[in-house]
Structure 1
Amino acid sequence: MAAQQARTLHVRTIGLLGRGGGSLRHEVDLPIVVPTDSIARAQEVHLLIGHAVCDVVDAALEEV
């Protein structure tokens, strides 16, 4: 599994997960769980999170 391989390489991991997070919830450093049974709703929230992360990175790069 990618999360386990990342751990052996000392890489920090984030998981964008739905429902209860499944077994991956315990394999990543930062599990972000969207507590819904709707796959579409979970994907929409994951997309929003991805855009927010990009905004933070863009703002940080503008300061460089």
Structure 2
Amino acid sequence: MAKGGRPVDTILVVDDEEAVGELVRMYLEKEGFRVEVASDGRLGLDRVRAGDVRLVLLDLMLP
């Protein structure tokens, strides 16, 4: 359970810059979310297709 007793949702962060992805992960986990990081769009799509992702934060400038 996240803060306030709500269920924990999974957020997927897709960013090719490892430091940025990890920074976002740390912030969101501190707020009580489950976070996964994908380093490119293909890995991100594979993870979304696997299910259980409620939100995707996508770097629009991916190569």
Q: TM-score band, normalised by the shorter chain?
A: 0.3 to 0.5
With the length of structure 1 as denominator, give the TM-score of the two structures.
0.42
Higher helix share: 1
Of structures 1 and 2, the one with the larger relative CO (CA 8 A, separation 6+) is 2
* Higher-strand-fraction structure: 2
Rg (Cα) greater in structure: 1
